[in-house]
Amino acid sequence: MISYLHRLSGILFYLLGGTFFLAFMLQYNQVGIFGGWWMKVADLPLALVGILYGGTSLYLSVKPKDGQSTALKFIIGIPLLLLFIGLVVMNFWPVFVTN
């Protein structure tokens, strides 16, 4: 299951990263408004698949060769979850802070 999640998140990470490159080029060359909109909308999905890809890569590289390690999943997963929650809070900070 972890190797499948690693492959899927890797594919999604490269696809979303490629669309960010194209969106930046569209915005830089001032071709429509799609580039800026896409970079505002898809930043959290890119962060999520990046965190999943990095976390599964780390887990697969340090896990025991003969089996699974539940403790290692929590040791890697909890800081990455806190990082993603921090990114969500920073992204929506103007919604949380009202004047």
What's the full length of the chain, in residues?
99
Domain of 49?
2-96
Stretch 31-57: mean pLDDT, rounded? 92
More reliable by pLDDT, 78 or 30:
78
Q: Work out how many domains the chain is built from and give that number.
A: 1
Tell me how far apart the alpha carbons of residues 93 and 89 are, in angstroms, rounded to a whole number.
6
**Model confidence at 22, in pLDDT bands (50, 70, 90)?**
very high
pLDDT of res. 56:
94
Residue 28 in 3-state DSSP?
A: helix
- Is the pLDDT at 10 greater than 80? The verdict is yes
Give the CA radius of gyration of the chain.
17
Give the mean pLDDT of 58-72: 89
Residue 2 neighbours by CB under 8 Å, 6+ apart: 56, 59, 60
Residue 53: pLDDT band (50, 70, 90) is: very high
User: Regarding predicted confidence, which is higher, 60 or 95?
Assistant: 60
pLDDT in the model for residue 99: 62
Average pLDDT over residues 2-6: 91
Q: Which amino acid type is present at position 70?
A: T
